[in-house]
Each structure stands twice: as C-alpha cells, then as structure tokens.
C-alpha cells in the first residue's frame, strides 16, 4: 500500500537520523561541571606563593628562632647545610686561626726563653732552631700541623714546653683535619645535583583512565645510570578548618599513588605516568571542576631512591 511505503520510508529516515547513544561511566560532580568562561582571566591575575619551588627547595624561612644555640649543638650538620661560599670561608678560617694561634704560642715560648736575644749565637740552644720572629714561628706552626717538614726549623730536645706543645698541636691538628675534611667530603658527596636530571611533567592532568577519573603526571630520568629502590609519594598542601573551628595552615594530606598496590615503587628506566584515582577516599573528591582552579592548594611529589654509582640516598620534592 502507498501509505505503508510512506510509513516505512519515514521509519527508515528516523533510524538513520537518530543520534547514537554512548553510555559513559558515572562521573563525580567535579568532572561534569563546566568551567566558567572568564576562568582563565581570573587564574592569570592570581599570584600563588609556592610551598615547594620547582627546583625542589622548600620556600619556608624560619623566623623568630630564639634558641639559636641548638644549631651549635649539631655543628657538623650546620656546616654541611651552609652554602658553599660560607663553607669554604669557614674551612679557610679554621685552618688559618689554628696556625696563627699555635704560631703565637711558639713565638711566646721563644720570647720567654730568651731565644730572640741570642739569634746567631752558636753557644745558645734555642727551643726551635732558626726561629727569629713571629713570621718564622707562624711558618713553623704550618709545617708542624701539616707535617710538611722542610727541615730548616727544627725543635730541640732542650725545650720540654715545646715538646708538649708539639704533641698538643699534632693531636688537635689531626682532629681539625678529620672534622673539616669530613665535612667537605659529605657536602661534596651529597647527590643534590642528581635531581637535575629527573624531569617531571610541566602540568598534571585530570582525565578518565580505565573508566576511572584520575589525576596523572609523568616523571622520567635522563641519565643512563638507574635509581635504585626508587619510590614516589605525594602530598596535598592545603589549609583546612576542623569541625571544632580550629584553623590548620598548610595541612598535609596523603595522596595515594599506588601505596597499597605497589605502584609507588618505580623501575625508572623509561618515563612513567603516575596515577591517582579520584574516589571517595581522595582529597579531591569534594572539589568540583569549577572550584578546583580557585582552590589555594599545592601538590608536592616526593621521589626517593639511591644513586647507583655512589649508593647515596637522595630525595626530591617537586610539582
């Protein structure tokens, strides 16, 4: 029938023109809301002060520290933590002061014994041969502490106080050498520059992965030498207010990047994508898509491991 043909054609056109329905997984509210149009302008105007800088250094300065003596109780760590210019200055000053101090004592011994009044007298036995002033006493102090031994200035056996001073300077000189050389060795062997060849992605992204909403970023190593026992963890730095009304500034919350599944232990041979599932246990669950750019928060990623060449442990925090 003509009418039937018309109905069949209409039904075929409806089938062709009908849109295809795609069933997507149920997303949290932060993935369904649209961003406002003027969001980019608002984000450009905001200036955020970072908690951890991009080079991995913490942007925290300690102020109003009254008990400064605590830094001196752990003087070794204090010296290691100093900048190189101050460390080298202290290194030079410590040796110079010890040489001048013992040089002054050597000169005082020679002066009090009367060696300065018998310079050139072959019948007089001085405490130190060929010591004729403070400069020569200073040079003898350097030769004694550094065990150079040129052989021109020599202590004699007629000076018991000089023998005692020689023993004291030798022992103290060994202690100073052990302390300062150890401090320089520890500072040189610190693998801080190893982090320069660890590269993080410039931006972290939030997208679907295996039907789950995930926060993802990438990390890679530029060197051929591997990082042994590499592990990664992440922290959310955000101020919060408790139910009792207490304000906690810079509160730290763990971000699960595979702790329970072992995905946080990395074999960093090629660049890897680190993923955090945004579920009900995630600190991002209550933050919507429109609210996220307005939040004052920071994600700190901490990568720890051991340098393969030196077996020195190191840690890097950045994001």
pLDDT in tens, 104-119: 999 999 999 888 888 8
Report how far residue 312's alpha carbon sits from residue 293's, in angstroms, rounded to the nearest whole number: 39
Q: What is the pTM of this model?
A: 0.62
User: Between residues 31 and 280, which one has the greater pLDDT?
Assistant: 280
Which of residues 97 and 314 earns the better pLDDT score?
97
Q: Kindly report the three-state secondary structure assignment for every residue of the chain.
A: CHHHHHHHHHHHHHHHHCCCCCCCCCCCHHHHCCCCCCHHHHHHHCCCCCCECCCCCECCCCCCCCCCHHHHHCHHHHHHHCCHHHHHHHHHHHHHHHHHHHHHHHHHHHHHHCHHHHCCCCCCCCCECCCCCHHHHHHHHHHHHCCCCCCCCCECCCCHHHHHHHHHHHHHHHHHHHHHHHHHHHHHCCCCHHHHHEEECCCCEEEEECCEEEEEEEEEECCCCCEEEEEEEEEEEEEEECCCCCEEEEEEEEECCCCCCCCCEECCCCCEEEEEECCCCCCCCCCCCCCHHHCCEEEEEEEEEEECCCCCEEEEEEC
Residue 204 corresponds to which tokens in the numbers above? 């972290």
Task: Give tens-digit pLDDT for 142-166.
Answer: 999 988 878 888 888 888 999 999 9
CB 232 within 8 A of CB 317: no
Domains of the chain (ranges plus CATH)? Answer: 81-189 (1.10.287.70), 193-318 (2.60.40.1400)
pLDDT at residue 10 is higher than 50? no
Instruction: Determine the average pLDDT of the residues in 4-9.
Output: 41
Higher pLDDT, 106 or 227: 106
Would you say 238 and 297 are in contact if contact means Cβ atoms under 8 Å apart?
yes
């Amino acid at each position: 029938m003509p009418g039937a043909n018309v109905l069949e054609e209409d039904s075929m056109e409806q089938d062709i023109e009908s849109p295809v329905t795609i069933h997507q997984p149920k997303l949290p509210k932060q993935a369904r809301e649209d961003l406002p149009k003027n969001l980019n302008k608002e984000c450009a105007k905001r200036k955020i002060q970072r908690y951890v800088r991009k080079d991995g250094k913490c942007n925290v300065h300690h102020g109003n520290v009254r008990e400064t003596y605590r830094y001196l109780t752990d003087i070794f760590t204090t010296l290691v933590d100093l900048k190189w210019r101050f460390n080298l200055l202290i290194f030079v000053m410590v040796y110079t002061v010890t040489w001048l101090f013992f040089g002054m004592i050597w000169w005082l011994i020679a002066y009090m014994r009367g060696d300065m009044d018998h310079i050139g007298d072959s019948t007089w036995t001085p405490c130190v041969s060929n010591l004729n002033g403070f400069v020569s006493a200073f040079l003898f102090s350097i030769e004694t502490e550094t065990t150079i031994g040129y052989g021109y200035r020599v202590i004699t056996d007629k000076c018991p106080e000089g023998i005692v001073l020689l023993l004291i300077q030798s022992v103290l000189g060994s202690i100073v050498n052990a302390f300062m050389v150890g401090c320089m060795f520890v500072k040189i062997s610190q693998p801080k520059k190893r982090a320069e060849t660890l590269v993080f992605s410039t931006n972290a992204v939030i997208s679907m992965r295996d039907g789950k909403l995930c926060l993802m970023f990438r990390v890679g190593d530029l060197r051929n030498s591997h990082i042994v026992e590499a592990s990664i963890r992440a922290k959310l730095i955000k101020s919060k207010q408790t139910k009792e009304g207490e304000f906690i500034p810079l509160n730290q919350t763990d971000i699960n990047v595979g702790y329970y599944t072992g995905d946080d232990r990395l074999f960093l041979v090629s660049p890897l994508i680190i993923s955090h599932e945004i579920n009900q246990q995630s600190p991002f669950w209550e933050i919507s898509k429109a609210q996220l750019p307005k939040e004052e928060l920071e994600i700190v990623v901490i990568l720890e491991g051991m340098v393969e060449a030196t077996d020195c442990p190191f840690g890097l925090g950045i994001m």
